[in-house]
């Protein structure tokens, strides 16, 4: 499976990128770093700069058709930047339109709100997003990991870095099930 990891040029929470990435590698899949700009992205450990990572593909040139699923890592700045980028939002919408699975953790559901992908869905996130999710027509729940299969494509969400183990196991299971059905 080829899995897109969509991030902004800076602001992604490093552990929310690296642990799901490693889960994909460990399962024998190909993670691909997609960003709004070429070059490298700057990850953060909360508010402190962490490592940089090489961008594989640029949003606007990438297509959901070439991926089996999409992972949206969090961090506060990362999804806040992505939700204001029309090409990034369109890229996310493409996955739902094609019925491909999407996984989002922490603040990443902000991008889902902007993509109008939470309406009628039950999901979780960092607690400060609950009102945004409700206002966008979603149902917010306080659970470690939530799988929603209402609408096209399954959606896997988690609240925070402390949920990463469950998030990684669940998103890998869901993505593999979805790929097997295609």
| pLDDT reading at 75 higher than 80 | yes
- C-alpha to C-alpha distance for 149 and 155, rounded to whole angstroms: 6
Determine if the pTM surpasses 0.85.
yes
Mean of per-residue pLDDT scores for the chain? 96
Say if residue 101's pLDDT is above 80.
Answer: yes
pLDDT digits (tens, 9 = 90+) for 131-159: 999 999 999 999 999 999 876 779 999 99
Residue 18, pLDDT score: 98
Structural domain of 14: 2-181
Residues annotated as catalytic are 107
| CB burial string 110-146: b at 16+ within 10 A, e below | bbbbbbebbeebbbbbbeebbebbeebebbbeeeebb
- The CATH number that applies at residue 77 is 3.40.50.880
Quick one: pLDDT at residue 153? 78
Instruction: Count how many domains the chain has.
Output: 1
């Amino acid at each position: 499976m080829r899995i897109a990891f969509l991030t902004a040029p800076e602001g992604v929470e490093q552990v929310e990128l690296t642990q799901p990435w490693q889960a994909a590698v460990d399962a024998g899949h190909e993670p691909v770093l997609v960003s709004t700009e070429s070059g490298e992205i700057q990850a953060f450990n909360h508010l402190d700069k962490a490592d940089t990572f090489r961008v594989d593909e640029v949003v606007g040139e990438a297509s959901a058709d070439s991926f089996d699923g999409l992972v949206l890592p969090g961090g506060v700045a990362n999804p806040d930047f992505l939700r204001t980028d029309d090409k990034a939002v369109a890229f996310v919408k493409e996955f739902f339109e094609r019925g491909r699975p999407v996984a989002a953790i922490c603040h990443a559901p902000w991008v889902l709100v902007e993509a109008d992908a939470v309406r009628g869905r039950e999901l979780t996130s960092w607690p400060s997003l609950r009102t945004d999710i409700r206002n966008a027509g979603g149902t917010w729940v306080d659970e470690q990991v939530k799988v929603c299969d209402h609408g096209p494509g399954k959606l896997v969400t988690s609240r925070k870095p402390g949920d990463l183990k469950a998030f990684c196991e669940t998103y890998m299971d869901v993505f593999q099930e979805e790929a097997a059905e295609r």
